[in-house]
Amino acid sequence: MKTKRYERLNETLYYDQLDNGLEVYILPKPGFSKTYATFTTRYGSIDNEFQAPGKERIKVPDGIAHFLEHKMFEEEDGDVFAEFAAHGASANAFTSFDRTAYLFSSTQDVAHNVETLLNFVQKPYFTDQNVEKEKGIIGQEIRMYDDDADWRVYFGLIANYYHNHPVKIDIAGTVESISKITKELLYECYETFYHPSNMLLFIVGAVNPEEMMELVRKNQAGKPYDKQAPIKRFYPEEPETVAQKRSVVHLPVGIPKCLFGFKDKRAGLIGEELVKREVATEILLDILFSPSSDLYQKLYDAGLINNGFSADYSGEPQYGFSIIGGDTKDPDALVSMVESELKNVLARGVDEESFMLSKKKKTGEFLRALNSVEFIANSFTKYRFGGTDLFARGDILEGITLEDVNARLKEHVDFAQFSVSIVTSSEA
Amino acid sequence: MSELSFVSREQDGLSIHILPTQKFKTTTILIHIQLPLEENLVTRGALLPNVLQRGTERYPNPAHLQRHLDSLYGAIFNAGVMKRGERQIIQFYLEIANEKYLTDSRPLLEDGVRFLGEVLTRPLLENGAFAKKVVDLEKEALTKRIEGLIDDKMRYANQRLTEEMCQSEPYRLLSYGIREQIPQITPEALYAFYQEVLASYPVDMYVIGDVQPEKAAELLRQHIPLKPSGVKELPPTSYKKDVAEERVITEELNVAQGKLNIGMRTQTGYADDDYVHLMMYNGVLGGFPHSKLFMNVREKASLAYYAVSQLETHKGLCMIMSGIETGNYDKALAIIKEQLEMMKRGEITDIELNQTKATLSNQLRETRDNAGAIANMDYNGRLAGRRRSLEEILDAISRTTKDDIARVAQKVEIDTIYFLRGKGEAK
């Protein structure tokens, strides 16, 4: 087992890669009551076309990664929630564009719960009957999101950005697409993506790292896994341009919702370059849109935004975009004011003072985030899958310069790459 | 857990609670002001923190104010209201980095406390009242927030149920106030209200982090000079009310998913001996993924993605929430009622009982890792007039029997069933 010490953060990380390829990370948190563990596969909603080693290339129905996540909780001898509950753990899972994570938190019986987590994820049990039953449940999950204005305006914008890339597809799929899911397809996806060499286990909290690593090692050694060659994943050709400049959806809402932003042209960054771009973009968006910005003040004075106004960036190797906005009484006025103001900022660039202030703020923000074991486990895994280290983020942040941010301003704030998504009630 | 006990001091309606702990890399400060939930106070109560957080004498607009927070290593600050039984709580929250973890060793805590003091006691004024522009903008924002309640259908259905169920009780009121009252509020009236609030209502201040209690208390007294005079005794929240008959309210909206919400009276409050048994009741019924509602409405019948219950702690209500196909109303309601009957008959398996004990205990222990949750638990106890330590609650959970739960279940009655259905769909 190896260790890595982060002096300034006062954290020590323990890690190892097991013989079957599984990466295991353990971060003890002295003084914490709870332990939080995630078991994550590099497999999400965008991985809908692939070729497993020695098999045919296939395209699978939209929403299958999320469907598989639901079905993993069913065991031949009952429901795994019950097993966790009996040992005081609350379990959950989530599927994102590029990951599926299974997790629990508990303040007791941690060793037992870690074993349960490993065992249920490594033991699928799909039947025709239990697959059919799940279609009703996920159908209602999809319906719930159909009524969720914030979700609709968010996915509306991503769908505006992308012509072909599957990031535009709803993670849960549609009632129609999930109707095509069978137990055979689920097994095929499972066998391809749930091999230990495609997965990462992160345990953070009230644990002894040596004992925990030994337990995981023993558990894994008892399961016969053959070595797996890399999985081939296929993604469609994506033009640089946005697919659509503007979309409007009608739902019964009390106040219209408006999100807008820019699609990155440049894809394919990994490792430190990717984090550097992410951090520079976050600082940029903070300077442009946070409550301390001139633009925010103007929008507030004009009554065009409320407390929920925000700006975020998602940057992954294959795609990158910003999502800015919130509730507004007048989406068109909001967008036009933002456009004209951003054009001024583009002309003059970001100033030193705002840059320094924002960097300071981001430093404090990162420290605060490290209070959360959930943040640590989930972000560490995301960064690791992107080929980099969450805890090195502090150093990268320290190294970002005003020039980096201004270069990023010119690159990202490109109105050819701009799009707007609106949800409003039909009466308006 | 003795390491997590507050050092508290109370004087003239002003209480200071400090929790020194090295668990967190930040320090959290919370200030709570308690108002009775009343029609003639609630709207101004909701508007006040929104106006105060938009500017102070020294930081006169949001951009100024935010830049100052940014310079304190991105301190997080917000203010707002919440409902705790028949109380409206005005809350100010500040979370600031502990300088121990920074290369810069400027004492951030004092800067943070000073800032909060300015927000509370040195607001931006013009002509002896709040600035008209700020008040006008916040009036509009509050109006929009109330109108926007309908955007979240789960929350909307729950609020509509609460309004129907508690139509003759203060609890019907939304913590954001009453939309129709907003236009009449003037900057002068709001300023007078502000002075009344600081003078006459109970204030609780919490500090949680790696601090020295004496020093932190001194900073609060020095920088947040509140001088309450004649603080009011507030009436307790009433949680006992007989149910005359079960009511059914159906409303239509253009939604894809119907929302079936059921409001029940438990006749049990936080201070009652039975409260922990009620927590167990809720856990077995619908608090967890192993609970009866989840297992039967979702896993067995495949009718819903979510089917849960939750307690309105101080008001003694238990609310069931589910999202279903409009056409499945009768089926879902029958299954839910069957679960309620089983609870009354004490038909609870050993497995259900033990799983609920384990998960509920775990949920409570986990609150120890979150500064806000630690303060919240202490504050709930103060509001109800009975503080229980975590150990006391855990012990009561471990001793709960099926009979205890069945006895609580006997007191639980459906008051109102609320169904939000899709337009033009068959029921």
Cβ contact B137–A86 (<8 Å):
no
Give the closest of A147, A307, A362 to B74, CB-based.
Answer: A362
The two structure tokens encoding residue A358: 């924002």
Q: Which of residues 172-231 of B touch A (CB under 8 A)?
A: none
Q: Which of B15, B198, B16 is nearest to B123 (CA)?
A: B198
Q: How confident is the model at residue A427 (pLDDT cuts 50, 70, 90)?
A: low
Q: Which of A331, A64, A90 is nearest to A173 (CA)?
A: A64
Q: How confident is the model at residue B1 (pLDDT cuts 50, 70, 90)?
A: very low
- Write down the pLDDT at residue B98: 87
- The Cα–Cα gap between A120 and A71 comes to 11
Cβ contact B25–A368 (<8 Å):
yes
- What residues in A contact B95, CB-CB < 8 Å? 368
- The Cα–Cα gap between B86 and B36 comes to 6
- 3 state DSSP class of A260: strand
Selected for mutation to probe chain B from A35, A69, A83, A90 (highest B CB count within 10 Å) is: A90
Instruction: Give the gap in angstroms from C-alpha B23 to the nearest C-alpha of chain A.
Output: 6
pLDDT tens per residue across span A114-160: 999 999 999 999 999 999 999 999 999 999 999 999 999 999 999 99
- What residues in A contact B358, CB-CB < 8 Å? 85-89, 108
Single-letter residue type at B99:
E
Cβ contact A85–B359 (<8 Å):
yes
Provide the mean pLDDT of chain B.
94
Does residue A165 belong to the interface with chain B, where contact is any CB pair within 8 Å?
no
- The Cα–Cα gap between A109 and A93 comes to 20
pLDDT tens per residue across span A202-228: 999 999 999 999 999 999 999 999 888
- Write down the pLDDT at residue A35: 96
Selected for mutation to probe chain A from B257, B260, B351 (highest A CB count within 10 Å) is: B257
- 3 state DSSP class of A385: helix
Long-range pairs for B103-109: beta carbons < 8 A, 24 or more residues apart: B103/A8, B104/B73, B108/B27, B108/B72, B108/B73, B108/B75, B109/B27, B109/B209, B109/B211, B109/B216, B109/B219
Closest CA in chain A for residue B68: A292
Helix (H) or strand (E) segment spanning residue A101: strand A100-106
- The Cα–Cα gap between B56 and B45 comes to 18
Q: Which of residues 374-403 of B touch A (CB under 8 A)?
A: none
Q: Which of residues 73-92 of A touch B (CB under 8 A)?
A: 79, 81-82, 84-91
pLDDT(B2) > 50? no
- What residues in B contact A135, CB-CB < 8 Å? 302
Give the closest of A150, A252, A362 to B254, CB-based.
Answer: A252
Q: How confident is the model at residue A269 (pLDDT cuts 50, 70, 90)?
A: confident
Instruction: Give the gap in angstroms from C-alpha A239 to the nearest C-alpha of chain B.
Output: 34
Please compute the mean of the pLDDT values over residues A296-308 and round it to a whole number.
91
Does residue B238 belong to the interface with chain A, where contact is any CB pair within 8 Å?
no
Cβ contact B66–A290 (<8 Å):
yes
- The Cα–Cα gap between B17 and A9 comes to 28
Q: Which of residues 119-138 of B touch A (CB under 8 A)?
A: 133, 137
- The Cα–Cα gap between B12 and B231 comes to 7
Q: Please list the residues that pair with A327 across neighbouring strands.
A: A257
- The Cα–Cα gap between B283 and B288 comes to 6
Q: What residues contact residue B227 under an 8 Å CB cut-off, 6+ apart?
A: B199
Provide the mean pLDDT of chain A.
94
| Structural contact between residues B294 and B307, judged by C-beta atoms closer than 8 angstroms | yes
Q: How confident is the model at residue A267 (pLDDT cuts 50, 70, 90)?
A: confident
Helix (H) or strand (E) segment spanning residue A100: strand A100-106
The two structure tokens encoding residue A327: 């509730």
Cβ contact B306–A144 (<8 Å):
yes
Selected for mutation to probe chain A from B290, B328, B367, B393 (highest A CB count within 10 Å) is: B290
Crossing angle (nearest 10°) for helices A128-146 and A64-72? 120
- Write down the pLDDT at residue A281: 97
- What residues in A contact B22, CB-CB < 8 Å? 31
- Write down the pLDDT at residue A298: 94
Cβ contact B257–A140 (<8 Å):
yes
- The Cα–Cα gap between A418 and A413 comes to 8
User: Chains A and B: how many Cβ contacts under 8 Å?
Assistant: 205
Selected for mutation to probe chain B from A103, A137, A355, A362 (highest B CB count within 10 Å) is: A137
Give, rounded to a whole angstrom, the gap between the first and last alpha carbons of chain B: 52
| Structural contact between residues A407 and A266, judged by C-beta atoms closer than 8 angstroms | no
Give the closest of A90, A306, A365 to B359, CB-based.
Answer: A90
Closest CA in chain B for residue A373: B369
Measured CA to CA in angstroms, residue A405 lies from A269, A339, A345, A358 at distances of: 17, 19, 12, 11
pLDDT(B15) > 80? yes
- The Cα–Cα gap between A285 and A253 comes to 27
Q: Please list the residues that pair with A16 across neighbouring strands.
A: A24
Does residue A282 belong to the interface with chain B, where contact is any CB pair within 8 Å?
no
Q: How confident is the model at residue B225 (pLDDT cuts 50, 70, 90)?
A: very high
pLDDT(A268) > 70? yes
| Structural contact between residues B70 and A358, judged by C-beta atoms closer than 8 angstroms | yes
pLDDT(A10) > 90? no
- The Cα–Cα gap between B372 and B173 comes to 25
- The Cα–Cα gap between B140 and B78 comes to 19
Cβ contact B305–A253 (<8 Å):
no
pLDDT(B415) > 60? yes
Q: How confident is the model at residue A7 (pLDDT cuts 50, 70, 90)?
A: confident
Does residue B247 belong to the interface with chain A, where contact is any CB pair within 8 Å?
no
Closest CA in chain B for residue A296: B63
- The Cα–Cα gap between A311 and A322 comes to 7
- The Cα–Cα gap between B91 and B311 comes to 22
- What residues in B contact A149, CB-CB < 8 Å? 151-152
Give the closest of A307, A358, A368 to B26, CB-based.
Answer: A368
Q: Which of residues 36-75 of B touch A (CB under 8 A)?
A: 61-63, 65-67, 69-75
Pure H helices in B150-296: 153-165, 187-200, 213-223, 275-282, 292-293
pLDDT(B245) > 70? yes
Question: Computed over its alpha carbons, how large is the radius of gyration of chain B?
Answer: 23
- Write down the pLDDT at residue B425: 59
- What residues in B contact A290, CB-CB < 8 Å? 66, 70
Q: Which of B41, B12, B16 is nearest to B31 (CA)?
A: B16
pLDDT tens per residue across span A161-218: 999 999 999 999 999 999 999 999 999 999 999 999 999 999 999 999 999 999 999 9
Cβ contact B289–A329 (<8 Å):
no
- A69: annotated active-site residue: yes
Cβ contact B369–A292 (<8 Å):
no
Q: Exposure string (b/e) for B282-298, b if CB count within 10 Å is 16 or more?
A: bbbbbbbbbbbbbbbbb
Instruction: Give the gap in angstroms from C-alpha B137 to the nearest C-alpha of chain A.
Output: 6
Cβ contact A144–B365 (<8 Å):
no
Which of the 8 DSSP states describes residue A148? -
Measured CA to CA in angstroms, residue B49 lies from B23, B187, B204 at distances of: 30, 13, 16
- Write down the pLDDT at residue B426: 52
List phi, psi (to 5°) of A371.
-70, -20
Cβ contact A90–B362 (<8 Å):
yes
Residue A103 gets the label, from left (phi > 0), alpha (psi -120 to 50) or beta, of beta
The two structure tokens encoding residue A182: 């069978």
Instruction: Give the gap in angstroms from C-alpha A425 to the nearest C-alpha of chain B.
Output: 10
Q: Exposure string (b/e) for B41-71, b if CB count within 10 Å is 16 or more?
A: bbbbbbbbbbbbbbbbeebbbbbbbbbbbbb
Please compute the mean of the pLDDT values over residues B119-128 and round it to a whole number.
96
Single-letter residue type at B281:
Y
pLDDT(A326) > 70? yes
Cβ contact A371–B368 (<8 Å):
no
pLDDT tens per residue across span B354-395: 999 999 999 999 999 899 999 999 999 999 999 999 999 999
Q: What residues contact residue B157 under an 8 Å CB cut-off, 6+ apart?
A: B259, B261, B321, B418, B420
Q: How confident is the model at residue B317 (pLDDT cuts 50, 70, 90)?
A: very high
- What residues in A contact B351, CB-CB < 8 Å? 82, 86
The two structure tokens encoding residue A43: 């497999």
- Write down the pLDDT at residue A209: 97
Crossing angle (nearest 10°) for helices B132-147 and A294-301? 80
Instruction: Give the gap in angstroms from C-alpha B232 to the nearest C-alpha of chain A.
Output: 32
Cβ contact B362–A106 (<8 Å):
yes
Does residue B143 belong to the interface with chain A, where contact is any CB pair within 8 Å?
no
Q: How confident is the model at residue B127 (pLDDT cuts 50, 70, 90)?
A: very high
Does residue B350 belong to the interface with chain A, where contact is any CB pair within 8 Å?
no
Q: Which of A303, A148, A405 is nearest to B257 (CA)?
A: A148
Single-letter residue type at B419:
F
Please compute the mean of the pLDDT values over residues B404-419 and round it to a whole number.
98
- Write down the pLDDT at residue B326: 93
Catalytic hit among A7, A11, A23, A69: A69
- What residues in A contact B369, CB-CB < 8 Å? 32-34, 373
pLDDT tens per residue across span A332-348: 999 999 999 999 999 99
Q: Which of A29, A23, A99, A31 is nearest to A68 (CA)?
A: A99
By DSSP bridging, strand A78-79 and strand B26-36 are: unpaired
- Write down the pLDDT at residue A428: 44
Cβ contact A149–B151 (<8 Å):
yes
- Write down the pLDDT at residue B227: 85
